[in-house]
Structure 1
Amino acid sequence: MISTAERDALAHALSLAAHGPTTGGNPQVGCVLLSPTGEVLAEGWHRGAGTAHAEVDALSKLPEGGARGATAVVTLEPCNHTGRTGPCAEALLAAGIARVVHAVADPGENSSGGAQRLRAAGVDVEQADAPEAEAFLAPWLTAERRHRPWVTLKWASTLDGRTAAADGTSQWITGTAARQRVHEQRADNDAILVGTGTVLADDPSLTARGDAGELLGRQPLPVVIGRREVPADAKLRRHPRQFRQFDGGDLDESLRELYDLGVKRVYVEGGPTLASALVAASLVDEYAVYLAPALLGGPRLALGDIGATSIGDARRLRLHSLEQLGSDLLITARPLIAGAGR
């Protein structure tokens, strides 16, 4: 049975996990080490690929033998895999940990099995019922379970759903605060997707930039969907990273290829053609909709045909968060039906 101290430690471990990066392929994980009587001995979190995992980070803060008989409370099942670092299950065994409480089971084909390894060595292992941890890790878990990245579809529109005026102009529908939030979201993803139509019409740079227009240290991979050639003088060709292009014939397969490249989170900024295709194919896990208090009318809608011919076909979403940015709103929503973003 999980104690009150262990549940409190798990909540704290989740807050520690949030310090870790959302990009780079690895999950955000936090760990708290408790003494046999429930006092916090040490804590840690994972700082990105190639760095110590949360359990090892926490263990490193104790003297040799300081974790013997302790309980490790972790937001994700300890890994049982040797990659850039060694398996956390073995590190916990070597440190003399007596009990492990973890939230989410690791779905990774290579990294799972840590709980089984620990139990086989005599460690008391218990999985907590922690839906908040499952929700926190949703992007990474989706990528691991479905072998394709978590897909966030973003658009900026007026209140009547227009992403551009009748003459095609769209800069700027939203204000500076909303536009800067977009750059932050770009930096929080492994890749940005656009269609060739957007490249030809808007000539986007697809970089993540700061308030003064400077390039941020971490740049997402630019990805173009479509068969048309990217112009030789396109800003995209001056991106710090070499862009990738897919013909778009099979969006699911393109996403799987990105997953194989280590991309776990994708931010889609394409126009209505690409956006509608992803929605129709049930490949969107999250919607980031920036709404400006303005009206345009006309035909330039955020989405085209998504296969909904009657109200019963509507893609129902659940509100995840609402954020005011200057005079604009950022609405984040996710499919209401679990697994709808297959």
Structure 2
Amino acid sequence: MSLVPLPESLVPFLDPYLPKPINEKRPFVTLTYAQSLDSRIAAQSGVQTKLSHLETKTMTHYLRSKHDAILVGINTVLADDPKLNCRYDGGSGGQIKIRPIVLDPLHKWQYSESNLRKICDAGQGLAPYILVDESVKDVEQPVLLSQGGKVVKLPLLKNRANNWHMIFDKLYEMDIESVMVEGGACVINDLLGGCGPVDSVIVTVAPVFLGENGVQVSPKTGVSLTDVSWWTGIQDSVLCARL
């Protein structure tokens, strides 16, 4: 499915929040996701829920074109089987490729059976780097390795409070200078709650209530945003801010 044109007004609106050089040896981190009016990102746990309007879906791919990598947690991968590629080319007709990063401490995901594997087979994306705990055995995935992906072992289960700093430090060592974090709820709540660095927050708000059974974004402590800007489209509103 092709993307609708990117609304022209989104380009200057998003620009101040896009990756810039930072004076730290870590990637620039953008936290972005779509939510309902009652702060839910899915109708139920494990159920894929489409919230974004077509124009904000194009915005998501535009944002991906500005980052080196896109990071998601294992629950998002198992629920949505996402393609994790970039379909925005700015009218150039060229393929912009972004590196998927999948946080999968217990190694639950079978990449060889995924939509992402099919995308890579077709030359439309990059194979992922899969982050697993160092205790996990039998992590060889020949298809993944043949496509240029990697299984990266880290001590993820020992000191979870420090995981995000360790993860971003490792990605920086692997020449990834900007990361777009898209979910799911545990990942978002961790980063909103201060467990790791976040340089920009970009939230799409859809005009719908998903109800009390929905998967909620709600960090453990209160969070104040600064440098706040709003954009309103045909259906959705977009919040850009910093923590």
Give TM-score scaled by structure 1 length.
0.51
Cross-structure match for 1:330: 238
**What one-letter code is carried by the residue in structure 2 that aligns with 1:331?**
L
Cα distance, 1:200 vs structure 2 = 0.9
1:233 and 2:141 aligned: no
Indicate if the aligned counterparts of 2:17 and 2:241 stay in contact, CA closer than 8 A: no
Indicate if the aligned counterparts of 2:40 and 2:217 stay in contact, CA closer than 8 A: no
Indicate if the aligned counterparts of 1:318 and 1:333 stay in contact, CA closer than 8 A: yes
Among 240, 259, 284, the residue aligned to 2:198: 284
Among 150, 164, 184, the residue aligned to 1:251: 164
Cross-structure match for 1:275: 188
Indicate if the aligned counterparts of 1:226 and 1:245 stay in contact, CA closer than 8 A: yes
Structure 1 residues 178 and 247 mapped into 2: Cα distance closer, same or farther (>3 Å)? same
Among 97, 116, 126, the residue aligned to 1:219: 97
* Secondary structure, aligned partner of 1:172: coil
Structure 1 residues 302 and 286 mapped into 2: Cα distance closer, same or farther (>3 Å)? farther
CA distance in 2, matches of 1:298, 1:323: 27
CA distance in 1, matches of 2:108, 2:68: 23
Cα distance, 1:264 vs structure 2 = 1.4
**What one-letter code is carried by the residue in structure 2 that aligns with 1:251?**
W
Cα distance, 1:278 vs structure 2 = 2.3
CA distance in 1, matches of 2:205, 2:175: 32
Cα distance, 1:259 vs structure 2 = 1.1
Indicate if the aligned counterparts of 2:34 and 2:205 stay in contact, CA closer than 8 A: yes
Cα distance, 1:183 vs structure 2 = 0.7
Structure 1 residues 284 and 168 mapped into 2: Cα distance closer, same or farther (>3 Å)? same
Structure 1 residues 233 and 203 mapped into 2: Cα distance closer, same or farther (>3 Å)? same
Structure 1 residues 162 and 153 mapped into 2: Cα distance closer, same or farther (>3 Å)? same
Cross-structure match for 2:20: 140
* Secondary structure, aligned partner of 2:59: helix
Structure 1 residues 204 and 177 mapped into 2: Cα distance closer, same or farther (>3 Å)? same
Cα distance, 1:216 vs structure 2 = 5.4
* Secondary structure, aligned partner of 1:189: coil
Gap regions ≥5 residues in structure 2? 1-10, 134-155, 157-162
Give TM-score scaled by structure 2 length.
0.70
- Ranked by relative contact order (alpha carbons within 8 Å, sequence separation 6 or more), the top structure is 2
Cross-structure match for 1:178: 56
Cα distance, 1:279 vs structure 2 = 2.6
CA distance in 1, matches of 2:98, 2:45: 31
CA RMSD of aligned residues (A): 2.7
Q: How does 1:1-342 map to 2 (within 5 A)?
A: 139-142=19-22, 145-166=23-44, 168-210=46-88, 217-227=95-105, 228-231=107-110, 232-238=112-118, 239=120, 240-247=125-132, 249=156, 250-280=163-193, 281-304=195-218, 306-308=219-221, 314-335=222-243
CA distance in 2, matches of 1:301, 1:203: 17
Indicate if the aligned counterparts of 2:46 and 2:78 stay in contact, CA closer than 8 A: no
Gap regions ≥5 residues in structure 1? 1-17, 19-134, 309-313, 336-342
Percent identity of the aligned residues? Answer: 29
